[in-house]
Every structure is written in structure tokens, then in C-alpha cells.
Structure 1
Amino acid sequence: MPKTAITGSLVTVEFDKSADMPIYRQITEWMKTAILSGRLAAGTKLPSTRILADELGVSRNTVVQVFEMLTEEGLLSSRVGAGTFVSDIIQDQTIIEPDTPIEPASRAGGYPFRSLSRRGKSLVVSATGEFSERPTPFMPDLPDLREFPIRTWMRLLNETSGRLTGQILAESSNAGYEPLRRAIGQHLNASRGMHCNYQQVIVTTGSQQGLDLICRMLLDAGDPVWLEEPGYVGARSIIRANGGFVCPVPVDESGAKFDEAMQTHPVPRLIFTSSSRHYPLGGQLDQERREELVRIAARNGTWIVEDDYDNEFIYNGNSLRSIFAMDGEQRTIYMGTFSKTLLPSFRLGYIVVPLDLSEHFAKARAVVDRHASLIEQMVLSEFMLRGLFVSHIRRMRNLYQARRQQLTTGLEDIFGKDCYMSAPDSGTHVILPLIKGADDRAVASRALEKGLVLRPLSPYYMTEERRNGLLVGFSAFNEDEIRRGLGNLDLLRGEIVPKLGM
């Protein structure tokens, strides 16, 4: 097998052939500064004098002279048969380090227009970075990463990678890898009562990107958007960042109250709903309100975005048929993700659009970022077509149901019966409601000091009429971790006062 020659780093050098200073001196000074400042890090292999001379457009003797001068100063060292390297020296800290932020001109008295756009400011304000994404009890809404079938996945990866050819790369659709789109369509038709073909499936890099694409395609600045109250903060952020005017629609045990919204809000351009399991409260949108939602959309030319993120984890009984399946007027866009069923870092999701919009969405997908990682799409298609995806869901459903039971029993042992918010036996978190006047953000911060992640409920509300509570996750934690987490939670018994009997 032939060896690959390591020719050294690409080096950019600035010099002026018309200047009075000799070229070799200009190059020497530039490289000296680069080495002392750390732009050329210690141990960096430089290209040979011949290669560097060709790249700079100077004679080889000029580069040899530069290397000799820098070697004499101890900045370069040569190894016989290996090449020339940047020496391991103490860098001059008076020179700006490469990672040191440079003060913007606006602060230094320069131009005054250095600012984000309104959309940029909206994105920054809505971003949440309070907690680490590393699984820590009781962080909600994470799958158990240890239960991911990594060996099976790697076997499929080895099988599939041999089929990854230049032709497949060239012919891959902007809407996604066709076998995966077919597999997703088949899965939804069987499990969600839908009737869609693969052309309606657009593969995305997750539900966030899917919603962003929908908003770009269907919203104009100022368009009213109905969003459940409380509602998913990520959806609220994306809608606002795309210019949508968010109108909160109150939620009760039967889902969003669309009849009340018609009396108080402007006619919506788009309605966002988490139909199978409302986020974060956990209720399911009942059949009557699903039918009402479809009627509102048909009557007003409104688009429905159905976020069906948690339909796989309903433990007792089946979820209702999807809104997409019952919408005869085809005003519904369906969103799904693999982040909760497989891995959060997987970054694959999908949307299903009406057939007459599919070509438009595929073209827009190309403008946004072409397509998601092709090899992962190929492996996932095999994972689904061989029935492994459904088997994985069934196994995780049984596992999560047992963990939910352990958590809720433990919460009642600590805080009393009916301490957690009653919701269908589903999802990957429960809510511990707090008494009126409690500060759930402060309680969450206090719990973090004890090594517990309890996400506060109040930030999910837009209006002042909000409940205080804590989202307590269970899916990512095994029996021992839940037991230890409950022990730490017991230490906060005096600071957490649940509202019982909700």
C-alpha cells in the first residue's frame, strides 16, 4: 500500500514585492510574528522549501534563507528525514493570541452600526442555556443513550458504507435519501393512520429545522400564529424569529381551546399544536377539538403544524389518529423527529407536506443547507426497513413505562398522594406542580446545587397567568439513578411544596 506524503500545513504569508524591504526579510518577520503569537502553533510541520516557494511565488533560495534565519533564532527546528517544525517556545504574551477577541470598532469610537438584526436579537433572547445537555437526573425529555443499539447500528453502517458511491452522492435528492423517505412514509401510514407517499416526506436535521423551514415557506412578517399556552419555547422562538405574531391559546385537559381563540385572536395564518402529547403539560388533543381545528383551517385558509413528537411513548392504549390523516382539505404539515426515539445528537427529523407543496419545500430545503448527512440517512433507512426501529420503540416503551412508575411512586412517598400533575400515562416526564406564589426558577436553581436538574414550568408561559411547577424526567435514568435522585430530592422536601390533587 503506497504511503501518503505529509507535506506540512498550508501557510499564508503576506509580503509586498514592490516594497523596499527585501522579500526574505518580509517573510521572516511575518512568520516570526505568526510563531510568537501562536498562529503557527508549536509542533506545526511546515511545507518543504520547494513547496512553500512554489506556493508563495518566490525562489527556493529565498525560502531557504528564511528557514535558516528562523532556525538560528530558535523558532524552527529540523529533523533529518522528517522535515521542519515550529519549535516549542514560550510565546510572547504581549502579542494578541489567536483566540483573544478583538474589541469591536464601535466600542473603540468607530462606526455605530454594529448590531444584530431584529431576528438575530429574537433568537439570542429566546435561547436557553441554563442546564447542561449531559443526562443528569431528572433532566426531562431525553432518551437513554446507553440503550441505543450501537452494535447493530455499526453493523449496518459497515454494510451500508460499501454502497455509498459517487453516483448516490450526486443523485441524492434535496428532500432526502429516497429509501429513507419511503421507510418514513410506510411507518407513518401504518402507525399514524396517514396516507402519504414518499414525495411528501422532507428529511430535515431535526424538528427545529423543520419548523424553521415551514415558517420560511408559509409565514410573512406580522402573520398571526396560534401557539398553545403554555407551549414549546423552541417553537415560540422560531416563529418569532421568522416574523410571526404569536397568539397564546389556553390549554386544558382536552387540549388547546380553539373556540375561545376565535373570539379573542386574529384569524391565524398558522396554528401550531402538539397533538399526541401536549408539551409540556402532557394532555392529548381530543377528537372533538381535532375536528374543530380542521374546520377552522379549512374555513380560514389556515395552515396547521402538527408536532407529533411523542406519539411513540403512549403506554396505555393508542394515540388518536393524526390530524394530518383526518384533514381532507390537506392544510396540515406533520412534523416528526428521531431525537427522542434514538439519539438527540442524531439530528435527523422530517416533515410531511401536502403533495402540491412537496416540490416547493424540496427546492427550499436545498437553499437552506442541501440535505442531512447521507450515510446516516442510508443506515437509518435500513434500520427502519428491517423492522429494527419498531422493535427498538417497543423495547424502550416498556422500559420507560417501568421507570415512570418508579418515579411517580417515589414522588408520592416523598410529597404525598397526587403530588404530580395528572396526565395520560405517556411521555418521558411528569410535572410536580407547586403551590401558588412559589418560585419554580429558584427551586430549580436550588435543586441544581444538589446535583438535580428540574426544569421550571413557568418559562413555557407567555402570559402572566401561569402555573409554577417542575418538569421531572425519567426516561434517561435507570433504576439506581432514579432511586439516588429521589434520595437527593427528599433533601429538598422543605423547599418544594407541591400543589396536591391537581
Structure 2
Amino acid sequence: MSKTAVTGSLLSLEIDRAAVGTLCRQLLEQLRAAIDSGRLPAGSRLPSTRVVADELGVSRNTVIQAFDALSAEGYLESRVGAGTFVADQRRLAPSSVAAGPQPAAAGRAYPFRSLSRRGRSLVASSTDEFAERPRSFMPDVPDLREFPIKTWLRLLGETSGRLTGEILADTSNAGYEPLRRALAQHLSASRGMCCDYRQVIITTGSQQSLDLTCRMLVDPGDPVWLEEPGYLGARSVIRANGGVVCPVPVDDEGICVEGAEVTHPVPSLIYVSPARQYPLGMTLSVPRREALLRYARASGAWVIEDDYDYEFRYQGHSPQAVHGMDKDSRTIHIGTFSKILLPSFRLGYMVVPPDLSEAFGKARAIVDRHASLIEQMVLSEFMHRGLLVSHIRRMRGLYRARQLHLIAGLQSLLGQALPLAGTDTGMHLTLPLAPEAGDVALTRRAAQLGITLRPLTPYYATRQRRQGLLLGFAAFNNSELDLGLQKLAPMKADLARLLQRQP
């Protein structure tokens, strides 16, 4: 009868007492095979001989003999006071050990294996163009050093002491109720939205909110209007859910819905970022908001309002959210905390029409039940104590100062007549370039100089693309911005020439 054990190193071993050969030989061969195959990589710490013996139900001497034999072969090494570890197999002669683990799929054909149509669409819709590490001018990154970590940890300690089984059992699929109440109150005050907390659903961020909305409201083949240029993440989610992206141009007042009425099919959804259009940065004007809602009412389309970067407005006042103007409840409002607090802080929210709240809550449960409860509880305290509003105000002042510093630096480098866009709001500037600029090539050249510029053209779904560069400033202090400008200096002549040709 065989006995299987999962050791302290999470390695499965099996001893068959009816098999031919000693128990020591079985253990030795299984450990050797695990090391050769890479299941036990170099540096792995093995459990003690006593633990292995207890789990397998064999004598400790049997395990010691197997370990000693593998040590003699060079597979294991003992470190005084630390234990037994898998040796680096590269030090062994080629004849004594295999060359190393190979990928399971390398050179192997698997019959009858294919992704579903939805799976293929999901893979095809993925975007990984901008996987850069944070460095000078990288857009969309907050200053992680300014996060109030001590306050957050103190609230975490206070909150974790109140975490009970009853709270765990009673938490709604739509999220932690005190946080939903805090959000409803916050949005009513800051965005002019009159919403009940039952309309608020906590998600892991804007991407999940978009995905859930598309799952609920888009059938395969349905047209979905998307700003052009527009957010790549939205384009990916729409396509992954079977929607057909219909790009709608934007101008200085935002999305041009009235023109699209003539040229585009009637959509199931219209995705907009009214507070700050991404990536160009303009705010959707009030007449355009009214036109959007009139069209949604007449056509039966739903509006997804991505409230991106509304917190960081540096001039004028924030207009009322489209959701707050919508008398027909056709708007799904989504937001995230990743830009306000930390990118790794995976909490967002959506506000859905009252008659859809129950359906969205049930669908949320199927997707992944609910977001991290302890983080929801801490954020709830953070909001109820007024700390979130205080943090936003502080970061708004800090980012505005950095934006002005970057603008002055660019003017000094490239000349005063800079055609900058998106200066009223947000965490990045958009620098328009001439049609022949080649923004992708420019960003590659900048990367060689140690800075991260982001090209504008990938945000377009059509071939009629404006050239430009996105420069982030929020995550970098003035000294770091100055250093980035120094690194940009070798491109000064080319950039100035391209800017001068911009009409």
C-alpha cells in the first residue's frame, strides 16, 4: 500500500511498500527526479529528516540515508544551522545531471486543444504596450512617497480588531455597506450625484467595472461608441466581450455625439470620460453632455461615465457628473482609487441605475464574490474621518506645482510657444506634434536616454491619427523633473522642429 505525503516544501512524495526495492531507494529516486525536472529548484530548502520521516511513515534512518546519498551525488548540500538545500545543478558535470528543466510545452503538440472564441477575443484584445518601469515623465502614476502610509497602517490596526465572523458573513456581494454609504455621500457632495448607497457596487477597479458592465449590457456584435482617441483599457474590454468598437472623434469640447448620429450605428453603450478625456485632457462641455443624454434617451443606449482624474482639477470648478444630470437613469458611473492612493490599491466602484443594482450585485458575486474586505473597511474609515478629502486637496496642490514646473522647463527647452493640451486637469501633459513626427520612434529614442514618453497614436483605433507625446509629472518632484529635462536635451532640436511645424 502506497503512502503519499506533501512535505514542508510542498513537494509530493509517494512511498509504495509493495513495490520492489527498498524504501530508501524509492525516496532517493523521487527526490532526484524532482530536482532534475526542476520541481525542486536550486536553493530550495528541504524539510528536516524528522518531518519527512513522520509524513511518510518511515524511519528517520531511511530518510537520512537518502539525503546522504543525494549529497554525495551533488544534488543536496547541508548548511550548518540552516538545514539541507538543493545544490546548484550547473556546478555538476553534464554527465551526472540533466541540462535543466525545459518548458512543458516546448516542442510538443497537443491535439484537440484550442481556446474558446471568447478566450481568443480576450487574448487578442490584451494591451501591453506600456509596461515600462516608473521613471521620468511616465504618465498616470501618483507619487507613492506621498501616500499616508503611517495613517493607513494605524487605521488597519484599529479596523482589523473589529473584523468578526459576523462581518465576514454579512458583507454584501456589492461591497462593505459603510464604504458604499461613504462613497454615495462623497459622490453626492463632490460630483453632484444624487445616489443611494444601494446603487454603489465595490469592484477591484475601473477595468472590472467596465468588464462587468459589458457582460451585463453588451451582446456579441453590439456596437459600442468609444472616444477617438480613447482609453486602451476600455477598447480591450469592449472587444473581449464581443462588442464592436465604433470610434467617435473628440474635439476641444469632447465627444462629438451629434455627428456620430449620422455616421455610426445605434450603440448599446457609449463610453466617455467627461471630467478629463483620456488621453487629450479636455473636459466635456455642458452642451455636449446634454446632447449625449438626449441621444441616450432617444436611442436607448447606455452611457458609461469613466470619472477619470476628476480629483485633479487645477483651474475652474468641476462640472457636475453626467450621472447627476441624467434624469432617465441611463448612466453607469465608474471610478477608482488607484490614482488617488496607490496603483496597487485594487478598489474601485460603480454607480448603477436603481433598477439594475440587484442584477449587477448578483453578477458581481459570480465574477469574484467581493473585493478585499479588510481594505474596504480601512478605506471606509479613511473616508468617514475626512482623510480622503484632505489627501486629495494636498495632492492637488502638489501636482499643480509640479505641472507648472514641468511646463516652465519645457518652455525653456523648446521655446515659449508650446501647443500643450490637458493643462487644466490630470497627471500628464499632452504635447501635440506634426503629422510626420513619428511619435513611437521618438519614445523609443527617449527610452534609450532613460526617460519614458508615451506616444499618442496607439490611442487611436482608426488610421487617422494625430501625433503627440504624453509626459507625466505627478510622480516626480522638481529635481527629478529637472533631471528628466536634462536627459531630454539631446532631442531638443528634433522636438522643437516638429513643434514649429504644428499648425
Normalised to the residue count of structure 1, the TM-score between the two structures is 0.90
Contact 2:49–2:63 (8 Å) recurs in 1: no
Cα distance in 2, alignment partners of residues 413 and 122 from structure 1:
46
Cα distance in 1, alignment partners of residues 268 and 192 from structure 2:
26
Partner of 2:46: 45
Tell whether 2:450 aligns with 1:447: no
Q: CA deviation at 1:147?
A: 1.1
Partner of 1:25: 25
Quickly say closer, same or farther: Cα 1:183–1:31, change in 2 above 3 A: same
Higher mean displacement: 36-45 or 217-226: 36-45
Cα distance in 2, alignment partners of residues 434 and 79 from structure 1:
61
Tell whether 2:98 aligns with 1:95: yes
Give me the identity figure in percent.
57
Q: Secondary structure at the match of 2:361?
A: helix
Cα distance in 2, alignment partners of residues 394 and 354 from structure 1:
30
Q: Match for 2:68 among 68, 71, 96?
A: 71
**What is the RMSD of the two structures over their aligned residues, measured on CA atoms?**
2.5
Partner of 2:461: 462
Contact 2:224–2:245 (8 Å) recurs in 1: yes
Cα distance in 2, alignment partners of residues 87 and 248 from structure 1:
56
Q: Match for 2:58 among 44, 57, 60?
A: 60
Contact 2:434–2:502 (8 Å) recurs in 1: no
Higher mean displacement: 228-237 or 114-123: 114-123
Paired amino acid for 1:314: R
Cα distance in 2, alignment partners of residues 19 and 338 from structure 1:
59
Tell whether 2:34 aligns with 1:34: yes
Contact 1:337–1:350 (8 Å) recurs in 2: yes
Contact 2:44–2:85 (8 Å) recurs in 1: yes
Q: CA deviation at 1:283?
A: 1.0
Cα distance in 2, alignment partners of residues 322 and 364 from structure 1:
25
Q: CA deviation at 1:183?
A: 0.9
| Equivalent residues, number | 487
Q: CA deviation at 1:500?
A: 6.3
Cα distance in 2, alignment partners of residues 241 and 290 from structure 1:
28
Cα distance in 1, alignment partners of residues 215 and 99 from structure 2:
41
Cα distance in 2, alignment partners of residues 388 and 134 from structure 1:
29
Q: CA deviation at 1:179?
A: 1.1
Tell whether 2:495 aligns with 1:498: no
| 1:90-122 deviation per Cα after TM superposition (whole angstroms, max 9, x unaligned) | 466653745x31235xx44x4454444444444
Q: What does 1:124-135 correspond to in 2, within 5 Å?
A: 124-135=123-134
Partner of 1:171: 170
Quickly say closer, same or farther: Cα 1:131–1:327, change in 2 above 3 A: closer
Contact 1:40–1:86 (8 Å) recurs in 2: no
| 1:67-91 deviation per Cα after TM superposition (whole angstroms, max 9, x unaligned) | 42432442567899x8973464646
Partner of 2:4: none
Cα distance in 1, alignment partners of residues 346 and 301 from structure 2:
29
Quickly say closer, same or farther: Cα 1:470–1:78, change in 2 above 3 A: closer
Tell whether 2:486 aligns with 1:487: yes
Higher mean displacement: 34-43 or 146-155: 34-43
Q: Secondary structure at the match of 2:499?
A: coil
Tell whether 2:206 aligns with 1:203: no
Normalised to the residue count of structure 2, the TM-score between the two structures is 0.90
Q: What does 1:341-490 correspond to in 2, within 5 Å?
A: 341-423=340-422, 425-490=424-489
Cα distance in 2, alignment partners of residues 330 and 176 from structure 1:
22
Quickly say closer, same or farther: Cα 1:501–1:111, change in 2 above 3 A: closer
Higher mean displacement: 70-79 or 142-151: 70-79
Q: Secondary structure at the match of 1:498?
A: helix
Contact 2:224–2:267 (8 Å) recurs in 1: yes
Contact 1:48–1:84 (8 Å) recurs in 2: no
Unpaired runs of 5+ in structure 1?
A: 1-6
Cα distance in 2, alignment partners of residues 118 and 71 from structure 1:
53
Cα distance in 2, alignment partners of residues 412 and 119 from structure 1:
48
Cα distance in 1, alignment partners of residues 369 and 148 from structure 2:
29
